[in-house]
A and B are shown apart, each in its own frame.
Chain A
Amino acid sequence: MAPIRKDTAHAQSLLTVSDLSVRLPSGADRPYALQGFDLRIGRDEVVCLVGGSGSGKSIAARAIMRVLPEPHVWIESGSIDYLGEALTHTSSSRMRKIRGAEIGMIFQEPMTALNPLMRVGTQIDEAMRVHGIADRRERRARTLRILDEVQLPDPSEIYHSYPHQLSGGQRQRAMIAMALVLEPKLLIADEPTTALDVTTQAQILTLIDRLRRVHRTGVLFITHDFGVVAEIADRIVVMHHGRVVESGDRDSVLGSPESDYARLLLASVPGCVPAPVRAIPQDVVLSVSGVSKSYAPRGSLFRRASTRPAVQDVHLSVRRGETLGIVGESGSGKSTTARIAVRLLEPDCGSIVLNGIELTKLHQRELGRIRPHIQIVFQDPIGSLNPRHRVGEIVAAGPMLHGVNRAEARCRAEEAFDLVGLDQRALQRYPHEFSGGQRQRIALARALVMRPKVLVADEAVSALDVTVQAQILDLLRSIRDRLDLAILFVTHDLRVAAQICDSIAVMRGGVVVESGATGKIFDHPEHQYTRQLLASIPGRSWFARGAHHSTVEEKAREAQA
């Protein structure tokens, strides 16, 4: 964590936004994307804009850059002052000069923000060319210098590479290089680390912090993750429904939030406190042993297929009522393992025993009879429900397939809806009428209506806002305890795993590198990679041991009293 600098409050103001209102087209869920929005960024200062999805934080960034999707969304009133220049009234040709040269921007998804058909060096070069740096050699030298500065290995090789040849972290570094090559005074970073793995995220955060100090760049950092905020912010602006609900320096907002919404957000941040140890019966419900799976891209007549191992020799076992977390970064094989356990994928070898029955030897028809015992919930709350069916049909379809009559299936769907905390009347509606969190509850109801013994949650809370995530985790816990359900909980986020898992298996490159009780993994990690994962958790020092939870809760209690 960077030391807190007291001088930032007096730093020269770079950007001042006051009383900005941005209008949405009629028919949107609210009339204004932003209302009475105020923001000030000084030189050399990192201001974090925090809020849930739909809070208007990205619209704020776009309004400052004047890249709103006009004429549908437009600035109605207010002012944006950049070093004495009113950006709301600047001509579009002047604005083009400001973008890039004065205010740089980096985006969430480095794959789509870079042109896949252009070499990385050429793209950075182009940014300088459009801003009138005519000397070819100078452009090349500056490109190489900035690539070196963002700590990309072998800049001259990267210069000639295409985006797809770089890893996600390298692409994000290239994006940052492109944004910084013109030495803008202000950098707007819109969720720049959200799509990255946690270890890469830690590196990028350090990089942004270092560049900020070297170049005295002001940074507007947009994120939904309070861990990241604690890591990098000087000041924090919390947004909700297009309004600023709280702003202040980091320690005061994180330490003693004043608004209810900020308190709620902070209380929802998963801490790194392992869930309390529970007594768990010894009977194993699901055991996976020696499972391997390789993906073989199909060869053709002229090219032999080469196989790529996704999962190698994985052993796991889950007991009744236990929650086992599988934690790993993207490409670690955690989702493949989960899908093999549910037999959505065929393992190459190994055995899966559910309730004493060996699944790998079963034929399709027998497997169909076993399926109700092991159910899965997916990550994407939009993609996992068929948009053409009423949610009642979606939930009732499962039991009806297994010979339950319509009325009975209907009854069970209603029960399942009660269980996940949804109104039974909602059974008549279509998936698009629900919010993300509600959809995830429906997906959960679809799984629970089968009365499974084992529930596989494949990144089931990863796409949700932190407050909703906390609710769904609570729900999962209470259902687990009530139904004595075994849960296989797949996640990339150790903080989330700590909240709910009794034990954790850490995966990397298709192999389980370490497994054990959650407390042990957190307190005495044995494998080097586990230690690295733990060290990369953003805001760990702030949210360590859940200290903030008690203070926040105390505050909440005081407020109520």
Chain B
Amino acid sequence: MMSAPLSTFRHRFARNRAGMAGLVVVGLVTIAALVAPLFYPGDPLRSVASPEIWPFIDARFPLGTDALGRDIAAIMFHGARTTIVIGLTASLVASVIGTTIGSLAGYYGGLVDDLLMRVAEMFQIIPHLVFLIALVAVLGPRVDVVVIGIGMVSWNSMARLVRAEFMTLKHREFVLAARAVGMSNVRIILREILPNALPPTVILASLIVGGAVLFEAALSFLGLSDPTIASWGRLIGEGRSLIRTSWYIAAIPGVGILLTVLSLNLIGDALTDALNPRISIPTDDR
């Protein structure tokens, strides 16, 4: 568990090669997002050259240009910001909603549990993309709307996980002991149980980031994200009509999304191994 020193955790994570590869890719995307304004100052969505220059032909546009003559490399760099920011914040929103609802349902049980889980089921049976499209159609294609929308369709699994953790942990004796010294319920939830439920939550949150990136791409693909912001999904959507002549326009951001989401999942798997003590070498002495 986390009570093992941090260096052990790092060591165990580093032993997982796929996880490390994932970390490298996500690290590169993050760096791209950070340096985008330095490398490509100004609006990435302005036309800078003639349209449909293929990659590796013009040294000024290493990834070529799209149908409107915009620099694809600039869109990729700035799009990385969108991907990272929306992925992380949407996952954060989902985690906060999911953890709150899951912990209340799991800790109190009974009627509270019934009510909250029915709400969770409602969100589970709504087709997620349709819900997002409806939300954006009503409230407008703004980043905050997209983030909150993705958060609202992604918290379900988190709530269920946290609820299950709470249901087992609340019967553990250290929780009973905390009640016996007169600790309040809120304090027990936040200080006693939540830290113990954290490892699986962290793993799931990393997987939700991947899902959020896909949702953002899907919305942008449909042209429903903020039109003033560069986005990988939007580039795919715009490259779609030229897929037979200039397939690279859709392929480049496509590969970007593929690698990013794959890497996030690999990180999730590596976290599972590193945070789960049961997969360790048995040193049982009995």
Chain A residues in contact with chain B, CB under 8 A? 24-25, 27-30, 33, 53-54, 56-59, 69, 72-73, 298, 339, 342, 344, 367-369, 371-372, 375-376, 378-380, 383-388, 397-398, 401-402, 430-432, 443, 446-447, 450
Contact = CB atoms under 8 A, between A and B. Distances in A.
Interface in B236-286: 281-286
Given A383-B173, A446-B177, A59 B182 contact: no
B286 A58 contact: yes
A344 B179 contact: yes
Contacts of B282: 69, 72-73
B115 interface: no
A54 B172 contact: no
Contact of B283 (A28, A376, A385): A28
Interface in B151-197: 172-174, 176-184, 187, 192, 195-196
A503 B176 CA distance: 27
A447 B182 CA distance: 12
B3 interface: yes
Q: B178, B180, B182 — which one has the most chain A CB atoms within 10 A of its CB?
A: B180
B35 interface: no
Given A72-B281, A397-B178, A398-B182, 18 more contacts: A24-B283, A24-B285, A28-B283, A29-B285, A54-B286, A56-B285, A58-B286, A72-B283, A73-B282, A342-B180, A371-B181, A376-B180, A384-B172, A384-B176, A388-B196, A401-B181, A431-B3, A447-B180
B286 A401 contact: no
A364 to B, nearest CB: 9
A109 B48 CA distance: 74
A378 B172 CA distance: 10
B119 interface: no
B1 A344 contact: no
Given A59-B285, A368-B182, A376 B176 contact: yes
Given A368-B182, A450-B181, A387 B285 contact: no
B8 to A, nearest CB: 11
A430 B3 contact: yes
Nearest to B193: A386
B2 interface: yes
B3 A432 contact: yes
B182 A54 contact: no
Contacts of A58: 286
Given A24-B283, A72-B283, A384 B182 contact: no
B181 A384 contact: no
A397 B285 contact: no
Q: Which 10 A-B pairs have the closest CB atoms?
A: A384-B173, A398-B181, A371-B182, A378-B173, A388-B195, A368-B182, A386-B174, A58-B286, A383-B173, A387-B3
Contacts of A57: 286
Contact of A402 (B182, B283, B284): B182
A401 B182 contact: yes
Contacts of B1: 387
B173 A54 contact: no
B170 to A, nearest CB: 12
Interface residues of B, number: 26
B285 A386 contact: no
Contacts of B3: 387-388, 430-432
A384 B173 CA distance: 4
A505 B174 CA distance: 27
Contacts of B285: 24, 28-30, 33, 54, 56, 59
B182 A25 contact: no
11 contacts: A58-B286, A69-B284, A72-B282, A72-B283, A378-B173, A386-B192, A387-B196, A388-B2, A388-B195, A397-B181, A398-B181
Contacts of B195: 386, 388
A446 B181 contact: yes
B196 A401 contact: no
A220 B3 CA distance: 38
A205 B71 CA distance: 83
Contacts of A371: 180-182
Contacts of B283: 24-25, 27-28, 72
A20 B46 CA distance: 79
A234 to B, nearest CB: 25
A87 B59 CA distance: 72
Contacts of B173: 378-380, 383-384
A384 B177 contact: yes
B109 to A, nearest CB: 9
A54 B192 CA distance: 30
A17 B220 CA distance: 72
A450 B1 CA distance: 29
A383 B283 CA distance: 20
Contacts of A446: 177, 181
A443 B182 contact: no
A375 B181 contact: yes
Contacts of A385: 174, 177
A203 B243 CA distance: 80
B177 A376 contact: yes
Nearest to B183: A401
A58 B285 CA distance: 9
A371 B195 CA distance: 25
A272 B172 CA distance: 33
A431 B192 CA distance: 14
A401 B181 CA distance: 8
B135 to A, nearest CB: 34
Contacts of A380: 173
Nearest to A368: B182
Contacts of A54: 285-286
A369 B110 CA distance: 27
Q: B110, B176, B196 — which one has the most chain A CB atoms within 10 A of its CB?
A: B176
Given A375-B180, A446-B177, A386 B286 contact: no
Q: B174, B187, B192, B282 — which one has the most chain A CB atoms within 10 A of its CB?
A: B174
A534 B179 CA distance: 36
Contact of A344 (B2, B180, B187, B286): B180
A132 B205 CA distance: 52
A376 B110 CA distance: 26
B177 to A, nearest CB: 6
Contacts of A401: 181-183, 187
A387 to B, nearest CB: 5
Nearest to B284: A69
Contacts of A430: 3
Contact of A25 (B181, B183, B281): B281
